[in-house]
Structure 1
C-alpha cells in the first residue's frame, strides 16, 4: 500500500532533525500490517495455551472458538490496521490544538455512568486493562522515545502528547479494527485480553528500534520540565531523579482500599445510580454518639479558635477523632463488608421466599455507604480546602450515610439538596487560603451553627439538607451582596475601558487613512493613534447629544497633522499663528477627559512646538513616520486593527474601581514560598481559565485566594474577586506574565464534590480492572 506524505501527522515546529522524524513515522506505518499480524499470531498462541490449561469444557470450547475466529480474520485485520492507525495518528495531531485532558483517554466520570449501557462499561474496563498492560510493557523505552521524538520536532522540552507513536494511538487503532470484526462480543473480549499483552511486547521492540535510529541520526534528547519550589522550571533527562510523566503516570487510577473481590465495581456503581437495587430500606436510625470521641464542635473551638493552637492546614486525616458512630465505622471496614456482600449477592434466591429482594437491598445499602465513605474521604483530602473544612465534612458523614439509605437519588441527581449543600460549602471554602484569611472564622462559625447539627441528627430525607442550605445562604447573603456590589462596580469600569479601547482602535484606523499622515513624525503619529484616539472614543461614549464629533476632538486631528509639517505651515504662517493658541489647550483638555498623565505627553508637545518654530524660523525637515522610532511596546508599521493587541488605556478612576494592576509586581520574594500547585505542571504555559476558577495571586507580596469573576468580551481584561469583595484586574498580557513568573497559580477548576465523586468512579474502575474476570 502506497504511503503519501499527506497521510502523516504534520508536526510543528520542526527543527533540523525533521527528516528523522518523518522517516520513523513513515516506517512505522509501512510496517503496521506486519505488526498487526504478529500481534494476532502471539494472541493465537496465548489462546492455545489457555485452551490446553482449560479446566472446564466450556472454557476449552470458548478458547477454541476464539482461536478459530482469529485465524479466519487475521488477514482482514492486517489489511485494516494501517488505515486505522493512520486515522488515529491524524486524530492525535488534531487534538494537539485542543485542551489536554486532565487524565487519560479512558477516564470515566461519576455522572456519566448512568448514561452508559453494559457494553460501554465492559469496553471501558477492557480499555483500562489494556492500558495498564501497555503502560507496564513500555514505560522505560517510552520516556526515552518521547525525549528523542520531541527533539526531532524541534521542541525545547518533552511534551509527550507530541509523540505520534504513543501507546494509546496503537491501542485505539487495534480496538477500532477488532470492533469491526464479525465475531461475538465474548470472542472479541477473549481476543483483547491477550492482544494487549502481545501489543505491549511488540511496541517495546518497536520503541527500542526507533530510539536506536534516532540516536544514530544524531538526535539529542530534550528534557522534561519540572517545576521547582521557587516557581522556576528545570529540565531533567528521561530516567533522571524527576521521573517523566509517561504513559503509565497519565493513565494511573486511584488505588482501591482492600484486596480480593471488592464491593465497589463499575457495573455495581452504575446500577446504584440507575436505582436498580431495591428501594425498600429500613427506617433510618439516629446514630448513637461514640462515647470516646470528642465532638467536632468542641475540638473545633479548642484547636481552631485558640490563636496559640492553630492547626496545620493539611494534616493527615487520622489526626482527627471523627464523630462517625461505631456502627458506621464497622461498615467502613470494606474488606469484610465486601467479602460478605459478595457471598450474599452470589446466593440464589429461592422462588417466592422474598429473600432476593432483601439481599438486593442489603447489597445496595452497603454499596451506597461505601460510596459515601469514599466521597467524604476524597473531599476531606482535597488540598484546596483548609483543615477545619475538611474535618467538618468528615463530621457530616453519618448524616450522609443515613441519607444514602433513605434516598439513593443522592447519587444520581446532581441537583439533590445534599449534593448542592456539599458543593456550596466547598465552593465557599475555596475562597480561603489560610486560617487567618479575612472572613474564614465567620464562615466556619456559620457552618458550625447551621450545618453542624446535621452531624448528630436523624435524617429523614433531602428536606433536612435543603433547610440547612437555605439557612446558610441567608446567613451569607449580606457578605455576598457586598461582594457583588464591588464586583459590579469593577465590571462597569472595565467594560467602559474595553469599549473605549475597541472604538479607539477603529478610529485610529480612520486616522491612518488621512492624506499626508505618513509625512508627520513618528511621535506625533503615535500620539494621534494612541492617546488621542482614546480621547475621541471617550467623548463618543459619554456623549448624549448625538453629535458626530462630540467635543470637536476629531476636528483637531487634521489641524494637528497640518501643523506638524513645517514645509506646509511655512506657506501660511498666519494660519499657524492663529491655530497655536488654541491647539495645545484643546489637546490638554481632551487628555484630561481620560485622565491621561501630563508627563507622558510632554515630549510630544515639545516636539510639536519645535515644529512650529521651524515653520517661522526655517529648519531641517523632521523624519517621517515610516523612519521614526516607535515608542516602546508599539510598532508604527503595523496595520491599524492591531491596536487591539496593544495594552489598553485604563484611567486612574477605572483602575481604582477595579483594582487594576498596571505593571507586573516582582516575582515571588525570597522570604515567601510559592504556594504548592494542587496538580503538577509540566510547562510554564497559560492554563485554560474559566469564570469561577479560583487562583492564588501574589498581591503586594502576599498570597491571596481570589476568583476569576469576569472576562471582557474581547478577552482583554480579567477581573478577580476575593471572599471579602476586593477586586484585582489585569490585561491578558499581564496575566500571562504573572503565570510565567509564578505570581498566579490556577487551582483545579473542577468543583470539589465532582472531583471526589469522579475519584470514586476511578476507584470502581480500578476495582473492576483488578478483580477476577
Structure 2
C-alpha cells in the first residue's frame, strides 16, 4: 500500500538529505581510489611513454584534488535539485551519449569527439558497476516520487547525474586533455562502486521507512498489429546482422567501421576523395546492376496496386481473413516484407560491402543500412510506409557509394525526399484514414522510379522530390487557404482578447464603477470589453475613419445609468439617454457577432435597475457601494472576463474548441476565501510549450467529435494564448492554452512525434557509433 503523501514527502527529503551529506565523503574516497589505480597502472605498464603520462595524470589529480572535493558535492546537489524542479530537466546534468545528435557530430572538433567517447565510457562503466544497487533504490524512490511504476530515468539521483556532473567539473579544470582522459577512464569503475554503496544505503533507509518498491512496467502481448510490426523488426534485424557469420571474429557484432571517429570524418568530408567518380561505362553497369537487384526488393503488392490503379477495381477483404489488408476496397500498397524480400535486401547490402573500394564507402553503406532499418522499425509510421522504406534501401545504398554529400548536406535531395515522405505519412493514424490510399499510390510511383532510374545521381532524387511534392500539393492548395483564414481569425481574436483584458481592468478601476449587479459586472468586463477592444483595433487600423469611439462613450453613460442614487436624481436625463444607449449596446454586440440571446440576462437586469431609478422614492433608501466590496462580491461572477471569447465566424474558420466540451479548466482551489493565483493564458501557453518542448510541426493525436484524429501543430499565436492543429483534409482545430493544457492532462491530446523520422534514425546511428567506439576500445 502506498503511504500517504506527507510520509512520501518526508521520505524524499530524508533521502536527499542523506545523499547530500554523504557526497563530500564519497568524493574524497573516489579521489583516493583513482590515485591508487593510476599509481598501480603506472607501476605495472611496460610502455615508458604511457607510464610517464600516467604519472602526469597522477600528479595533476593530486594538485586539483582539493578543488574537486570542494566543488563536486555542491555541483551534484544543484543538478539533483534542478531535476526535481517542476518542468525542470531531465537535464544537462543527465545528458549522456544517448542524447547525441547526428547534426551535432558534424560541428564537433576532434578533441570533442574523443571527449564524447570518453564520457560515454564513463557513463556506461559507472552504470554497470552500480546497476544492482540502483535498481532496488530506484524502485523505492519511484514510490517516493508518487509513481505507480518504476521510472528510473526520472530519478534525480541516477548515475548519469553524478557522472556527467563530474565530467563537467573536470572539463573546467586547467588540466591537460590527456590527463583528464585518464582520470575519466580509470575513475569510472571506482565511481560506480561508490554509487553502488550509496544506493544500497539509501535503499535500506527507504525500506526501513516502510517504502515499498514500485512495480516494473510489464509490456502486454502484441496484438495483430504489433505482431505485424514485430515481423518487420525481425526481418530488418536479420538483414542487418548478415555480417555476423559463423567463424567471424569475437567482436564481429561490434562494427569496426561505424565508430564515432569514422562517422565524424565522413560528415566533415575527409573521406570524400575515397568516393571515386564513376566513368560513363561504370554508370551503365551500376544502373543495370541496381535495377536487377532492386527489382527483387519491390514487393509484389506494389505491382498489384499499380495494376489496381490502372483498372480502378478491387474487392474488399473478407473480415477476419488473413489476406492483405485492404483500404477502401484497394489492397495496401506495401505488405510486410517477406523473408525472401528481406533476404534479397540483405544480399544487395552484402554485395555493396564486398565491392566497396574504400573505408569511406564501407562506412556509407553501413550508415545507410542502419538508417533504413531504424526508419523501417519506427512505430510512428504505418506498416505499409515502413515496408516501403525498407524496400527502397538498394536505391539509397547505390547513392551512398557515389555521393557522400548525402550524409553531410541536410538539403541533399535524397534526404529531403525521405524527410518529406515520412513527414507526410505522419498525417495518417491508420490505414483506413482518408487519403492514405492515394498517398500509397504516390509512393508506388516513387518506388518504381527508384527502381528504374539512375539512383547514383542526386539530380534523380531532386526530380522525384519535385514530383512527390506536386502530387501532395493537389490537396494542399485548398487546405492552405483554409489555414490562412484560420490564422487570420485567430490572430484577430488574440489581439482583441488581450486588449479586452486590459480594458476590463480599466473598467474595474474607474471611479464610477461602483454600482450595478453581478450580471452587469460580468457583462461590462466580458462582452462589452470585447466590443470596446474591437472598436479600438479598428480605429488603430483606420477602419473607423473619423468616427468617434462611440462604444467607449456608451460605457460612461451606462455606468452613470446603473448608479441608482445618481440616476434617480436626474430622471429626465435617464429617460432621454436610455433609447440611444440601448441602441448603441445592441450595435456594439453585433459588431463582434455576439449573440444577442446571450445578453438577455444583462438587458433584463439593466431594465430592472432603470425602473428602480425612475421610481420617485427610490433615491432615499439607497447607499453607494464601495469598489472594494464590489470587487470581492463580483469576483466569483466574473469568470467569463478572463476566458477567451471567439466570434462565431472566427470559431468556424479556425475550428475553435472551447469549454462546450464539458471541461472544467479552472484551477483547483484548496481553501475557501481569497481566490488562488491564476496564471494568465499567455503564461499557461508558454509553460505548455516549454514543458513539452512543443513546436510548430509536431504531430499529436486528439479527440474530436468522439473520434481520434492525427493532427499537426501548425500555428502558435505570438502570445501563446492560442494553438491551432491541422488534421487530414486541412481541417483546423484551435484551442486556448487552458484547454490544451487540460486536454493534455486528461489524455485527450497525445504528442506523437516531435523529432523527424529521418533525423531520429540518423541520431540513432550516431549513438550506435559512440557505443561501438566504447566497446571496441574496451575489447582491445
Taking structure 2 as the reference length, what is the TM-score of the superposition?
0.78
The change in CA–CA distance for 1:150 and 1:442 in structure 2 (over 3 A counts) is closer
Q: Name the residue aligned to 1:70.
A: 58
| C-alpha separation in 1, matches of 2:183 and 2:548 | 78
Task: Work out whether residues 365 and 397 of structure 2, in 8 Å CA contact, stay in contact via their aligned partners in 1.
Answer: yes
* Cα offset, 1:764, TM superposition: 1.2
Report what 1:733 is aligned to: 738
Question: Aligned match of 1:766 in 753, 768, 771?
Answer: 771
User: Helix, strand or coil for the counterpart of 2:701?
Assistant: strand
Residue 525 (structure 1) aligned with residue 501 (structure 2) = no
Q: Unaligned 5+ residue runs, structure 2?
A: 220-235, 245-250, 318-323, 664-687
The counterpart of 1:724, out of the listed 729, 732, 739, is: 729
Asked if 1:537 corresponds to 2:533, the answer is: yes
Distance 2:6 2:335 in 1: 48
Corresponding residue number in structure 1 for 2:591 = 593
Q: 8 Å contact 2:699–2:752 — kept in the other structure?
A: yes
SS of 1:553's partner is helix
Residue among 115, 127, 137 paired with 1:135: 127
Bigger helix share: 2
SS of residue in 1 equivalent to 2:750: strand
**1:40-84 CA deviation, whole Å, 9 max, x = no partner?**
333455456667876xx32x8736862674267346324423313
Aligned length: 683
Aligned counterpart in structure 1 of residue 70 of structure 2, from 66, 69, 82: 82
Rounded Cα–Cα distance in structure 2 between residues aligned with 1:325 and 1:214 = 53
1:15: Cα distance to partner? 6.8
Given the alignment of the two structures, is residue 273 of structure 1 paired with residue 267 of structure 2, yes or no? yes
Deviation per residue, 1:657-681 (Å, 9 max, x gap): 11111236479xxxxxxxxxxxxxx
Matches within 5 A, 1:509-658: 509-542=505-538, 544=542, 546=544, 550=548, 552-617=550-615, 618=617, 621=622, 625-630=630-635, 634=639, 646-658=642-654
- The corresponding residue for 2:321 is none
Distance 1:136 1:327 in 2: 37
The answer to whether the aligner puts 1:472 opposite 2:464 as a matched pair is no
> Partners of 1:68 and 1:514 in 2: how far apart?
76
Q: 1:705 to 1:80 in 2, by over 3 A?
A: same
Matched, 1:384 2:380: yes
Pick the aligned partner of 2:748 from 738, 743, 752.
Answer: 743
8 Å Cα contact 2:516/2:563 also seen in 1: yes
CA positional deviation for 1:89:
3.5
CA distance in structure 2 between the partners assigned to 1:604 and 1:746 by the alignment: 42
Shift of 1:274: 2.3
Question: Matched residues in 2 for 1:288 and 1:151: separation?
Answer: 58
Q: Displacement, 1:325?
A: 5.8
Is 1:124 the counterpart of 2:129 in the alignment?
no
Q: Give the counterpart of 1:289 among 289, 292, 305.
A: 292
| CA distance, structure 2, for counterparts of residue 429 and residue 156 of structure 1 | 35
Contact map agreement 1:664 1:737 (CA 8 A) in 2: no
Return the match for 1:170 from 162, 167, 178: 162
Is residue 483–residue 730 contact of structure 2 (8 Å, CA) maintained in 1? Answer: yes
TM-score by length of 1: 0.78
- Of 294, 301, 310, 2:325 maps to 310
Structure 1: tracts of 5 or more residues without a match = 1-13, 222-236, 244-253, 342-358, 636-642, 668-682
Q: Aligned equivalents of 1:621 and 1:413: distance in 2?
A: 79
Matched residue of 1:554: which SS?
helix
C-alpha distance after superposition, 1:246-279 (max 9, x if no partner): xxxxxxxx99955434131111111222232313
Inter-partner Cα distance in structure 1 for 2:89 and 2:183: 33
Q: Secondary structure at the match of 2:753?
A: coil
438, 458, 464: which one aligns with 1:462: 458
Matched residue SS, 1:695: strand
SS, match of residue 518 in structure 1: coil
CA distance in 1 between counterparts of 2:269 and 2:200 reads 50
TM-fit CA distance, 1:16: 8.0
The answer as to whether partners of 2:724 and 2:735 remain within 8 angstroms in 1 is yes
CA contact (8 A) 1:17 1:219 kept: no
| Aligned 8 A contact 2:349 2:397 in 1 | no
Corresponding residue for residue 680 of structure 1: none
Which digits, 9 at most, give the CA deviation of each residue in 1:292-315, with x for residues without a partner?
665462255589976423269998
Distance 2:197 2:702 in 1: 47
- 1:42 matched residue in structure 2: 33
Separation in 1, partners of 2:369, 2:652: 48
**Match of 1:194?**
186
Cα shift at 1:117: 2.5
User: Residue 264 in 1 paired to residue 284 in 2?
Assistant: no
Encode CA deviations 1:356-399: one digit per residue, 9 max, x unaligned. Answer: xxx9x422212111111111111111122222222222222111
Give the stretch that moved more between structures: 438-447 or 759-768: 438-447
Task: State the alpha-carbon separation in 1 of the partners of residues 173 and 127 from structure 2.
Answer: 26
* Corresponding residue of 2:762: 757
Q: Does the CA-based 8 Å contact 1:432-1:440 persist in structure 2? A: yes
> What does residue 4 of structure 1 align with?
none
Bigger mean CA offset, 494-503 vs 469-478? 469-478
Determine the C-alpha separation between the residues in 1 that align with 2:373 and 2:483.
34
Aligned residue runs from structure 1 range 408-487, under 5 A: 408-450=404-446, 452-487=448-483
Equivalent residue number for residue 674 of structure 1 = none
